[in-house]
Each structure stands twice: as structure tokens, then as C-alpha cells.
Chains A and B, each alone.
Chain A
């Protein structure tokens, strides 16, 4: 596949007008390629395209399972209802705050952890495995232990740190605890991605910089970070998209009380609990659009490259 593509995307070397230069064999090969891809492409459309199209269709209707006789086409009314609702915007703001703060903390901690893991000489495998344990624990299970830890009487953290109050009943403490749970869980993943980036930094480059008199901080900022940039951006993209769809930690820790509900939680409440397919689908379409925008910003503006591609993020 890649050879075929390379030929066609380097036009200067082969014949110019309209690419007639493809031989019979090449064309047959390409046709075979398409045929081999077809089943996979078809399955992709069936399992991802159809549900997306169907939820867009649902979002244009009043469709409530509890009032099956009142189903009707309402155009963009559901979008107007959701976008003018304070509950939606509160959840949206909460989600953005959770995403930005947790990803920022994860980036810093993840980088530290990656540097440590990268430098470790003794028991490297063990260190890396141990660091990855939080990522291996099922989020819901971890969330429950955080929940009990922060509940007065049963929880050691609440007893030590919170005195008489119940931190999960107030807005700021609950947000902090949700962020803590997120950071604790996904920093190792961040570190893993960043460590792959660190491996790209040639030792010679660092030695040369040291010879030129750069101190540790300068070497990090001026040499390592630029070389690692593709890895950092990929890590940030993955984590931002993940964090924006946060659900399980909030579901367990606060159940969305005290304005800690995220957009995913709210969509679940409207779609699954409320059985309101119209409004719920509208919300999921809006989440889909937001996620697409985030991905677009990262890829087009920051030049994040997909892992494995060799463009190095330059566009």
C-alpha cells in the first residue's frame, strides 16, 4: 500500500500529465487493494457512520420514549432548547475546567515521571510497571475507593484532612477530588506517551548542548522539548479528548451533584435515564462536534501528527 501511495504522491519524478504512467499491473494491484479494503470500510460505516447519522436524525425530532404518540419532526428546536439552557452551559463549563486543569497537571507530572523512568538504570522494567498500576485499575473501582476515602467516618482521607465537613458535598472540594482522581489515574498514560518521545532525543544532541554550556533547564527547553514536540502534542490530544468525555469518576464520586455534572453525565441523564431521545441525541451530537473541533485545533493549528506517521507534525 505505502509504495503505491509514495509513487502517486511524488509527482515530479514520474510522468506529469494526468498520471497515465500506471501500468496494467499497478492498476490491478490498486483495484485489489480497494477490494481488500471494502469489507473493512463497509463495517466501519455500518458501526460508526450509521449510529452517528441516526443520532443526528433523532436530534431533529421530539422523540420521548414515554410519549410515543407525540413524536414529531421539530427541526433545530432541540438545539435551541439545549443551547439556551443554563444546565447545559454549567455542565459544559465544568467539563472544560476539569479538562484544562487535569490535563495541565498531568502534563507536568507526566513529564517528571517520564524523565525519571527514562533515567532509571536499575530495575527499569519494574519502575515502569509500578508507575503504570493506576492506569491498569478500572476507573470505576478506583473511583469507589476515592469515594469512600473522602466520605466522613469511613474514609481515611476525610478523617485526616476534612475535619467535620463532607468534602464531596461542596462544589470546590468535589471538583478538586474529581481532578485528583483523574490525574492519579491517567498521569502514567501521559508519562508513557512522553517517554516514547524522550527516546527520540539523541544523546549526541544533549552532549553537544552541554559542551556549548547549556544548563539542565536550557537543555530541556531548547533541545528536548522541540524534539519531543510531536509526542507531547499527541499525548495532549489523546488526553484532552479523553478528559472532555469524563463520565465514570463523576458518576461515582458525586453523581453530578453540586454542579459537578459533565456534558457526558448530562447526556446520560437525558438520554438513558430521561428516555428523551431527542434532547439526548442533540447533546451527543454537540459533544461530537466539540470533540471534532478539539481534534481539528490540535491537528491543523498545532500540527499534531498521528502516531506512526513520519511527517513530524509539520504542515
Chain B
């Protein structure tokens, strides 16, 4: 700025002008919020979720106004941002978008309000039992399910006309394909992160095992958990996985399959929409099935994902926040999000819903989709959701997940008995907030 006298306005006057405009800006926003209550929603980025928010604001008719604050894209970053602000008692958070694994943590830390009475009844009505379990902790409800998600087995029917029913079959088929010089890889999320834990949790549940006790207080790691380690080891050490396995997250897995680099892909349903967009000519051959089973005749239990909506305990407008959260995840809005953003609903009735987005017009896959056109795989999703695997419910889940993904990496070096023993001690430490997480 220099001495400020030679040209332009003196700095004092500029500072005053800036100060005045800041003050008036403050006054203007203050006036705006006087009209109704502002509810701050902190939720992951979702393309058309603003429309849902707008619909709920219209329905509230001025009683409250929901502001959609988009969190970061990465789940870890979302959690850290909310946790830090809540730990500091920030009362600017009203509605929280929680990944299904965070509810016990936020409940135990005293950051999420319990749902009771009519709110609880409404939040539980018609919800599939698996997703509902993710919103509860110690028998109490701490969130309302917004959407769920479940992985499927994806394959190309030109390579494998029939999907394998068990892991044994899938491994055998992959080895045969390899011998025949065809695309043979089994693609899944093998990087050292939550995705690897999801695969492992599915294998444990499918083998009838447990990582933690049902109350989440002690480590079990039973026979099923060891059997799951054996399968993971076998798949990754027989040359039927991608060389980049330990770097592959959801999107790398999807890309590898689309490049024709695999015979089987274990992934979330978002891959269908991407495939339809990027390789429409091959879409008729892109098929799906429920996860392969561990034991023949015993259906697999697949890990579910998704988001729940909680009311922050620091909120100054809790009754309105409960009401707004219920609106955001209502049946109608879940359907809208399912059709526009590809997030599978947690309300059971929507899986048999036939009416299109705009019920006054005929169904049209391009601009007026129904659940049938947007989710050709909805029967498989629904089948998997009937008896899914829920990741261990414990406030220490984040530490647990970090430890599991570390101990299982790289999966090809698993030594089932030894690895199970290591998991037992490390997970016990993590549950007691004693040990170091890597």
C-alpha cells in the first residue's frame, strides 16, 4: 500500500469502507435468517440432492430453510470434518449425513440425538432390517436411513455365460480362463483401505463367522473369520488378480473391468450406470448376480453400505431438524435419489414400485425412468438386502477398519492362523483405545 497519499484513496478510508461493507453484509444475512429457522445439513456430495432439499424447503412453507453444505468427497474427510466441529461444540450443525459405519461412534461420543416417539416410528416404517441395524446403537435409534447399498458380482456373459455360485467355482473358472488365455482376473477393491475390509467382512459373514461379538465389546475372530482369511489368501496368490490389486479402490476396479482386464468384478451398482454411459454397445453383455457363496447351498451375506441422517446434539433447532431429516429421506425423496443419483433406497416398498418418476407420463428409460428401467438389477440387490452383512457395530469402527486393512495388506501374504492371531490382539487393543493404529 505504501504511504497511500500519492494516489488513490488513503488506506484508512479504504479500511473503513471494507469494514462498513462487512458489517452491512452481516446485517443483511442476519435479516434473512430472521424470517425462519436455518437448518444446516452436512452431507456428502450427491448430484441432485439439492432438488430434494428444495422440495423439503417448499414443503416446510417457511418454517425452516435447509441449507445443503456439501462435505468433501472422501468418506474419511467427511467424518473428520464433522467430528472435529462436533467435538468443539459447534452449534452450526443440525443434520448430519453419516456413513453407515459411523452411527455408533457419533452416538457414543454424544454427538447424535436419539430418535424417539413418533419420529422413531416414522424413521423405522417400512425400512429393510439390514439398513435399519446400521442406524441403531445399544438398542436405540440414532439416525434415519437415507439410502443403502450392496455389492454384486458383475461379469461379461461372452466370457462366462453362467455366473459362478461359490468362491471355489469362481476361482476354478478364473484359472481355466487363464489357461485358455482369456480375460480371467477376479477384480475387487484390494487396496489398503475400507474397501478391503468390506470384502473381508462379506467373506466372514458368508462363512458364518464373526469379527466382533454382537454387542461390539469384544473380539471373536472365530472359525468363519479364519476361513475368510484362507479364501482371501487363495484368491490373491493364484495369479488370478490384477497386478495393481493392492492399489485398486472402487473406481480402479470398475475401469479395469471396462478395459476388459477381468472376468469377474465385485463392486457396487454404480458400475452399471458408468458402463451404460461409456460402453453402451457392450451393455447387453454386462451381467450381474448376487455374491458367490462360501459354502455351497448357503447364500452369501453381502456387506451393506449407504448413508443415514442424524440430528446433531449441538443443534439449536432439534424438533425442526428431526422433521427435516424425515422429509429428506421420505419414500418419495428416496425414490427420487434412487432414480437420479443411483443410490439404492432403504425402504422396502420401493423395490416393487412400478410407477415412473413422473407418474402422469409413460415409462421411458431416458427421461422418465422407473425403478425397473433404472435398476435392471434391482431383484439381485433386493435379494442381497434380505439377509445382508452389517459391518461390526462399535464406536471404535474407524480404528478397527484401519487395523484390519493394514493387517490384511497385501492379501497375498496372509498366513490364516497367524494373521487371525494378530487381528485378535490388535483389534482388542483398538477397542480399548490402547493400541496404535497404523
Contact = CB atoms under 8 A, between A and B. Distances in A.
Q: Do A and B bind each other?
A: yes
B246 interface: yes
A64 B433 contact: yes
A151 B191 CA distance: 14
B192 interface: yes
Interface string A43-87: 000000000000000000010111110100000010001100101
A270 interface: yes
A266 B406 CA distance: 12
Interface stretch (A160-168, A242-250, A304-312): A160-168
Interface in A225-280: 255-258, 261, 266, 269-270, 272-276, 278-279
Contacts of A87: 406, 436-438
B192 A258 contact: yes
Contacts of A82: 436
A273 B105 contact: no
A256 B438 contact: yes
B221 interface: no
Contacts of A257: 191-192, 246, 409
A276 B243 CA distance: 35
A67 B247 contact: no
A66 B396 contact: yes
A273 B434 contact: no
Contacts of A313: none
B399 interface: yes
B247 A270 contact: no
A279 B436 CA distance: 7
A169 B87 contact: no
Contacts of A266: 436-438
A166 B437 contact: no
Contacts of B399: 274, 276
A258 B80 CA distance: 23
B218 interface: no
A184 interface: no
Contacts of B191: 257
B402 interface: yes
B192 A278 contact: no
Interface in B73-98: 76, 79-80, 83-84, 87
Contacts, number: 95
B435 interface: yes
Given A255-B193, A258-B192, A85 B435 contact: yes
Given A65-B83, A166-B243, A166-B244, A81 B434 contact: yes
Contacts of A134: none
A269 B244 contact: no
Interface in A272-295: 272-276, 278-279, 283
Interface in B39-56: none
Contact of B438 (A62, A169, A261): A261
Contact of B435 (A81, A166, A258, A269): A81
Interface string B223-266: 00000000000000000000111110000000100000000000
A266 B437 CA distance: 7
B246 A169 contact: yes
Contacts of B105: 66
Interface string A15-34: 00000000000000000000
B395 A68 contact: no
A272 B435 CA distance: 15
B244 A152 contact: yes
Contacts of A153: 255
B424 to A, nearest CB: 15
A144 interface: no
Contact of A165 (B243, B255, B402, B436): B243
A88 interface: yes
B108 interface: yes
B244 A66 contact: no
Contact of B109 (A62, A68, A88, A261): A68
Nearest to B433: A64
Nearest to A78: B434
B247 A273 contact: no
A186 B138 CA distance: 52
B428 interface: no
Contacts of B429: 81
B280 interface: no
B340 interface: no
A163 to B, nearest CB: 9
Interface in B384-430: 395-396, 398-399, 402, 406, 409-410, 429
Contact of A274 (B192, B246, B437): B437
Interface string A82-96: 100101101100000
A279 B79 CA distance: 19
Given A66-B108, A66-B395, A166-B244, A275 B436 contact: no
A272 B193 CA distance: 17
B110 interface: yes
Given A261-B438, A274-B399, A168 B109 contact: no
A273 B79 CA distance: 8
Contacts of B83: 65, 275
B247 A168 contact: yes
A274 B406 CA distance: 14
Given A65-B109, A275-B83, A81 B247 contact: no
Interface string B129-160: 00000000000000000000000000000000
Contacts of A165: 243
A85 B403 CA distance: 13
Given A65-B83, A67-B108, A275-B83, A270 B436 contact: yes
Interface in A185-225: none
Nearest to A163: B243
18 contacts: A65-B83, A66-B433, A67-B109, A67-B395, A67-B433, A68-B109, A81-B429, A85-B436, A166-B243, A258-B409, A266-B437, A269-B437, A272-B80, A273-B79, A274-B437, A276-B433, A279-B433, A279-B435
Given A67-B433, A274-B399, 4 more contacts: A66-B105, A68-B110, A261-B438, A273-B80
Interface of A: 62, 64-68, 70, 77, 81-82, 85, 87-88, 90-91, 151-153, 164-166, 168-169, 255-258, 261, 266, 269-270, 272-276, 278-279, 283
Interface of B: 76, 79-80, 83-84, 87, 105, 108-110, 191-193, 243-247, 255, 395-396, 398-399, 402, 406, 409-410, 429, 433-438
The 8 closest A-B pairs by CB, nearest first: A64-B433, A166-B244, A85-B436, A257-B192, A66-B395, A169-B246, A87-B438, A169-B247
